[in-house]
Amino acid sequence: KAGVTQTPRYLIKTRGQQVTLSCSPISGHRSVSWYQQTPGQGLQFLFEYFSETQRNKGNFPGRFSGRQFSNSRSEMNVSTLELGDSALYLCASSLRSGGASGEQFFGPGTRLTVL
């Protein structure tokens, strides 16, 4: 089975722009979660989607949004980029919403740099 894939792997944007990141979960997985990883804040939960519905959201401003398609692929969007949005964005998939066993499979991440 192919793992979680994320595109693009690297992105450079300037302040004020917006960006869309994509995540394809493992085949059969219906839950997709997004995390932001920065040196200062570590790994923080952004949101989780299951069956095209946002099930849970972390403590991030409304500039961060996401969606999930019927094939379980997910996108996250960040509008009006700020320098502090520079981070590694990780996507994780699991079989069930939240993965009641908690086991989530992570993609390699998208490295976003905001100049």
Partner 1 sequence: AQSVTQLDSHVSVSEGTPVLLRCNYSSSYSPSLFWYVQHPNKGLQLLLKYTSAATLVKGINGFEAEFKKSETSFHLTKPSAHMSDAAEYFCVVNLDRGSTLGRLYFGRGTQLTVWP
Q: Summarize as ranges the residues that interact with partner 1 (CB under 8 A).
A: 3-4, 31, 33, 35, 42-45, 48, 50, 55-56, 58, 90, 92, 94, 97-109
Decide whether 18 or 41 has the Cβ nearer to partner 1.
Answer: 41
Decide whether 17 or 73 has the Cβ nearer to partner 1.
Answer: 73
User: What sign for the dihedral angle of Cα 10, 19, 99, 71?
Assistant: negative
- 11: DSSP letter: E
The distance of closest approach from Cβ of residue 84 to partner 1 in the complex, given in angstroms and rounded to an integer, is 18
For residue 85, report the phi and psi dihedrals to the nearest 5 degrees.
-85, -5
Decide whether 79 or 98 has the Cβ nearer to partner 1.
Answer: 98
Cα distances (Å, whole numbers) of residue 20 to 80, 94, 96, 99: 12, 22, 25, 25
The distance of closest approach from Cβ of residue 43 to partner 1 in the complex, given in angstroms and rounded to an integer, is 4
Cα(105)–Cα(41) distance, integer angstroms: 21
The distance of closest approach from Cβ of residue 2 to partner 1 in the complex, given in angstroms and rounded to an integer, is 13
Decide whether 31 or 72 has the Cβ nearer to partner 1.
Answer: 31
> Could you give the dihedral angle defined by the CA atoms of residues 74, 27, 88 and 102, in that order, rounded to the nearest 10 degrees?
100
The distance of closest approach from Cβ of residue 6 to partner 1 in the complex, given in angstroms and rounded to an integer, is 8
